[in-house]
Every structure is written in structure tokens, then in C-alpha cells.
Amino acid sequence: MAEVSEPAIAETSRPEEPVSEFDPKSMRKTKPGLKRLILTLSVLLSFLLGFPFLWKSVEIYRAPLPFREIDHFSAQLDSAPLLFPCHFQAILIGFNSKPSISSDDLQFAISDLTSQTPQCGACSASYTVSVSVDSDAICAVDFDSDDEAVDELLESTLGGPAGERKVYSVVVVNRDEDVRAVVGKYRHAWISGRVSEAAALSRAAEIFVKVFVNGGKEEGLIHGEFMPVGADGRIVLSFNLLNANPNDGVYDWEFQKIEETVLAPVIEALRPVANISVESQVLYHTPKFSFSYWDHKWSSYIFNTKDLPFFVNSNEWHLDTSVAAGGRSKILHFVVYVPSADEWPLLLQLPNGEVSKTNGFISPMWGGVIVWNPEDPGDTPDSKQPVRHKISYQDLQKVFEVSMGQLRQLFGLKSDNLFVGSSGTSRLLASDRGFTLWELDVLSRQHTCFNLHSCATTLGSLSRLVQSLPRMIIMDEIGKQVHYSLEVAKLAQVNASLGVYDASAVASRQARSLAEDAFYHPSIMSVSYYSFEHCFAVYSPFFLPVSMHVLLAALREWRRHKQENKKYLAWKTKINKAS
């Protein structure tokens, strides 16, 4: 109840009657009580005490993300491309005792061939070069024997134990024969023949730069369509045997045997680059989509390269039936197509008129198709049951050799064994693991590069997204994944600077997969979030009216108390003056 206080009336001083001067409107005899004030103040205090609890309860949980580190990481990768230390070694044999070239000349020749701006994954500017002459161990190698044996012998002398730094070597042997260059399965190559020192130097430099560093491809741009590794670092190789018309004969294969002999070493070799698993199936009644025509010259049915984009009949070839592949793995399909008897034999004709030796083609990021023609087509059987055949092991091996070539193509390498350079053609030896050691180095470097860039972009997008939506909940898991991703990426960079290619590839793959997990976390949905208007609209009807009343009451009580106090003090002074 509000008490209207009137302005204090100036008291008329009538010293003879102090009691009659008592003006109830401006004075009071007793001290004002504190009960009402304490009551209202305690209610206000409880509101004030409860407010931080309310605030905490409607707070949006956001796990702290290291935005600055993410920006720093992206900036670091942008400014300085990831380069690896490389070591080159040239050994000259059979020249006269005083060679006129030194390591500086070789360094000059190499830097001549490398471009000014190094691409990501290339060698850093501080590569080491050494030139040595007539080492005894190498002289003992007999260069007359066949290439495989020479390769093995060179490996036993040049190759150090695993864990030592990787040195790429070129051995130049001055002999009396035609010049030929061979690149081995490990990390060395040799040039033998009548070659002058200067020519040897330039050829060696070319092999170093174009073959060992760039992998036999054009320098540079890492094309995303030749990086078939899924976002979680896995690839599923799906091998499918397609019988176009099983009425003519059902073909089956012994996949397990060929998997152990051919595929297992390749999977093992590619382990740093990707985690590969293999599946296989046999399908029936799977005709192709394109048409072929009979050609008398080749006495077979011909389809040409213009039909290739229409070959895969996606409606009837149910290839993507893998249950084991996770949502972010990459599936590569390898199809072995057995044509029907009325289209036998089916051959692929190239634009130059020749018939393809392999009868196969790839589609980047999808897989490859090989057309296999059986020995003779089935005759129309009298019995109702189609005749069952099993593809012989030798035929299957040949088919899988083509598959290996296709796998290499899908990774961006070439499937044949020649390198044509400006100073001549070199022969590349083939490895039974599908990839030679130096090719694996190239793949590791490029995949490290690609993965780290992808990781940086993903983390950057995530940090921008999170910062632009300040009321989006960020769970702990995302924070942890981002942290681990940055740590592993740093580890990958450290390994790269040390020159440990496969460890850096594995770490970069892990970093990329963690960054993708964080970005694709299902709780990040940028649909309009728990917005501030929503919060305000929910809580204000509860608290605003009540708090307004509480505040007003406290204020009023405080004012009243002060007035009553003033009145009491006025009375007190009057008494004192009178007495």
C-alpha cells in the first residue's frame, strides 16, 4: 500500500508546546521497522541469486574449437607447399679416371628441369646430390645379364636397410653398345651404352626429375579424379564377373586363389596410401548397353571407343551392392564381361584402326571393364541346364594382369612399361606387387599432399560454419575429432619434412578422415537453430511480469523506509532542540 508522502512542512517553532508540534505527517515517534524492507529485499535477492542458474541452464553447449590453430594450419599449407627432402646419387662407371662432372653440374641439370614454383609433393629446394665414380661393388655387377637380375644385384649393393633415408640412384655404365636406360623396381635406374658424360648427366637428371619425382607423368597438378581413396581412407575393390547370357554357358572363377596370389601383395603394398578390402560377385543376365557390329577383317564383333561411354548398362548391372562398404568409402568396380554367344568374339577397336590388346577400359573414380572372350562360345545346348565352365587359372591371371594395369591407371600411373622422355625412352620394370617402390613413394607423396590440403579445407569450412552460427550446439566429439585431426596433421608434416613417406601418408590419411568425421557429424544441421528470439519468447512471460513487480516493490519499500527514517530523524532533532 503506497503511502503518499507529503513534502515536509516547515515546522513552526512553538517552544512552549513540544507535544503539540508533533505532526504525524512529517514526524514519527518510533524508529521505522525493517521487516517490510527485509522481506522485499530478500525476495529480490533470491531472484538475483537465481538468475545465474537460469542463465547457465539455457546456455548452449559448444565444445571449444581451436579456430586459431585451424587458420594457422590452412595459412601454413597455402603459403608453403608441402615439399619432401630428396636425395639423389649418380654413379659413373667405365669412364676415364678423371671425370669432368661434379655434383654441382648434376644439381644444375636437375634444377634446370624442375619448374620454378615447386608443386605440392615435389622435392624441396634443398635436395642432396652426390656423384661418385667407379665404386667397386657396382663394377662387380654384370650388366650383360637380363634386366631383372641386374636389378636384383643393384638392389643388394645399393639398397640400404629400411629406415635409412631413401636415396634415388642412377648408375651410368659406359660400355660399347647401344644406349638403353632401365628403371628398376626399387629406387635405382641404370643407363648403359656408349654415352658421353654430358649426355649421361642430362639423361640421369631427366630420370631423377621426371620419373622418380613426378612418377612418369606430367609435372604437377594433382587431379582429384585420380585420387580414388574414400574420405575415411578406405577403398573397396569390387570384382564382378558378368555373364551376359548364361543360357550359352555359365562362367565361374576361383576368386580366392587369384586373390591370394595377385591381389594380396598389391593390397599390402598400397597399405600406406589406403586401407583396401576386396569383394567379388558373379552376376548373370547382364547385357551391355551399346551395340557391336560384325567385321569381316577381324572376323569378330567390334565395338569402338565411341561406344565405351555407353557400355556400362547401369540399369541391369547391379554392381554397387556392397554391404560392408561404409558411407564414406570409395568403391572401385572391376568388371570382367563375358559376352553372349551371338556376340562372340567381342573386340575393342581403337581410333587408329587397331584392335586393343587388352579389351579393357577404365572410367576414373568408377573402375574398369575388361571384355573376356571364352575359348569357344557354348553351342546351343540340348539340355535345359546351361553348361558350367570355370575360367582357367592361366586365363584368369591374364585378366588380372589387365586389372592391375587398370588399378594403376585409376591411381594416375600408366599401365605400360615405357617412359618416353626428351632424351630417349626408358624401360620401366614391372613389380609383382603392382607398384614399384619408387612409384609407391610418388603415390605416398601425392596422397599426403592431397590429404593435408583436403583436411585443411574441411577444417576451415567447419570453423567458418561454426563461427557463423553462434547458437549451434557443438558436441564434445566434434571438438575431440578436430583436435586429433590437427595433431595428426602436424605429425604428418613432421614426417614429411623428415622424408618418411609412408608414415606421412598414413598420418595424413588419418587427419583427413578425422576432419571429415567432424565436418559430417550428423548433429551439425544448419537449419535455424535455437535462436535468441525463441529463448526470449519462452522465458519472458514467466519472469518479466514477476520480476517487474519484485523490483518495484523493493524500490518502493526502500523509498518508504527512507522517508520514515527522515520523519523519525526530524522528530528526534526536534526533541533534542526542545530539550
Partner 1 sequence: MLFKIRTLFDSMAVTPLYLYLFLFLGPSNFSNSPFAHGFPSSSSDTTMHTNNWAVLVCTSRFWFNYRHMANTLSLYRTVKRLGIPDERIILMLADDMACNARNKYPAQVFNNENHKLNLYGDNVEVDYRGYEVTVENFLRVLTGRHETAVPRSKRLLSDEGSHILLYMTGHGGDEFLKFQDSEELQSHDLADAVKQMKEKRRFKELLIMVDTCQAATLFSQLQSPGVLAIGSSMKGENSYSHHLDSDVGVSVVDRFTFYTLAFFERLNMYDNASLSSLFNSYNPSTLMSTAYYRTDLYQRRLEEVPVTNFFGSVMETIHTDAAYRAPSRKTSGRADIKTSPDKMVTDDQIKTTTNSNVLDQSSDQKQAKEHMMQDQACPFARLMSSFKNKVQTVEEADSLVNYGLVTMIPLLLLSTLL
Tell which positions 114-173 bind partner 1, by CB under 8 A: 117-120, 148
Among 327, 375, 385, 422, the residue binding partner 1 under the rule CB under 8 A is 327
d(CA 215, CA 87): 16
Which of 327, 353 has the CB closer to partner 1?
327
- Give the three-class secondary structure for 407: helix
Q: ω into residue 81 within 30 of 0, thus cis?
A: no
Phi then psi for residue 132, to 5 deg, are -130, 160
- By CB under 8 A, the residues from 9 to 68 that bind partner 1 are none
Based on the shown chain and the rule CB under 8 A, indicate whether residue 373 belongs to the binding site for partner 1.
Answer: no
- What's the CA gap between 114 and 125, in Å, rounded? 10
| SS3 state of residue 456 | helix
Helix (H) or strand (E) holding 370: strand 367-371
Q: Is 430 in the site for partner 1 (CB under 8 A)?
A: yes
Closest CA to 290 of 279, 305, 300: 305
> Can you tell me which residue has the cell 517552544?
15
Interaction between residue 72 and partner 1 (CB under 8 A): no
- CB of 318: closest distance to partner 1 in angstroms? 8
Q: Hey, what amino acid is at 167? A: V
Q: Give the angle subtended at the CA of 472 by the CAs of 467 and 478, to the nearest 5°.
A: 80
How far is Cα 314 from Cα 511, in angstroms, rounded to an integer?
A: 34
Among 39, 48, 465, 494, binds partner 1 (CB under 8 A): 465
Residues within window 398-417 making contact with partner 1, judged by CB under 8 A: 398, 401-402, 404-406, 408-409, 414-417
Told to check if 546 binds partner 1 by CB under 8 A, we report no
The correct pick among 458, 481, 508, 510 for binding partner 1 (CB under 8 A) is 458
Say how many residues touch partner 1, by CB under 8 A: 95
Nearer to partner 1, 230 or 339 (CB): 230
Q: Does 358 bind partner 1 (CB under 8 A)?
A: yes
CB of 143 to partner 1, least distance (A): 18
Residue 294 or residue 520: which is nearer to partner 1 going by CB? 520
CB 342 → partner 1: shortest distance, Å?
Answer: 23
**Binding residue for partner 1, selected from 322, 373, 497, 563, defined by CB under 8 A:** 322
Task: Report, in Å, the least distance between residue 329 CB and partner 1.
Answer: 9
CB 7 → partner 1: shortest distance, Å? Answer: 25
Q: Which of 112, 134, 254, 295 binds partner 1 (CB under 8 A)?
A: 254
Segment interacting with partner 1, rule: CB under 8 A, options 39-47, 160-168, 173-181, 317-325? 317-325
Decide whether 52 or 327 has the Cβ nearer to partner 1: 327
Q: How far is 247 from 341, CA to CA, in rounded Å?
A: 9
Burial class from Cβ neighbours inside 10 Å (0-12, 13-18, 19+) for residue 466 reads: buried
Q: CA–CA separation, 389 vs 253, rounded Å?
A: 9
Assess 432 for contact with partner 1 (CB under 8 A).
yes
- Which residues 6+ apart lie within 8 Å of 245 measured at CB? 285, 287, 339, 340, 341, 342
